[in-house]
Amino acid sequence: MAGNVTELNDAGFHAFVSGNALSVVDCWAAWCGPCKMIAPVVEQLSEELKGKVSFGKLNVDENNETPVKYGIASIPTLLVFKKGELAERIVGFRSKDDLKKVLARHY
């Protein structure tokens, strides 16, 4: 995975979100058009918000435990965790500016 985005799986998901003060997990699939659109936005934010927010990606086709646990029905879904607790859920494509505003509420 390029940049500062960590590739996650079901086994490492909990450790990632509980090991960071603020983390965002992009739940995606390779066949999903909007997922492909948001991927570079997530990469850019991971650079711009380095030190404030930790970013991860979870392929929902390769990992089914976590999407079921968090009720992921549509992708892309960004799960925002604050100290290991789900703080916000963002469904669908959003612009970088919109995502920055949402995340700024959680710093």
Does the residue 57 lie in any domain? yes
Q: Taking the complete model, does pTM exceed 0.75, yes or no?
A: yes
Does the residue 107 lie in any domain? no
Q: Which of 25, 35, 45, 72 is catalytic?
A: 35
86 three-class SS: strand
At 19, which CATH number? Answer: 3.40.30.10
28: Cβ contacts below 8 Å, ≥ 6 apart = 35, 38, 39, 57, 58, 59, 60, 75, 76
What total number of domains does the chain contain? 1
27 is catalytic: no
Does the residue 52 lie in any domain? yes
Helices (H), 19-72: 33-48, 65-69
Determine phi and psi for 3, rounding to 5 degrees.
65, -140
Q: Which of 72, 7, 5, 58 is nearest to 28 (CA)?
A: 58
pLDDT in the model for residue 41: 97
pLDDT in tens, the chain (107 residues): 456 999 999 999 999 999 999 999 999 999 999 999 999 999 999 999 999 999 999 999 999 999 999 999 999 999 999 999 999 999 999 999 999 999 999 98
Q: Which of 6, 12, 22, 32 is catalytic?
A: 32
Domain that holds residue 74: 5-102
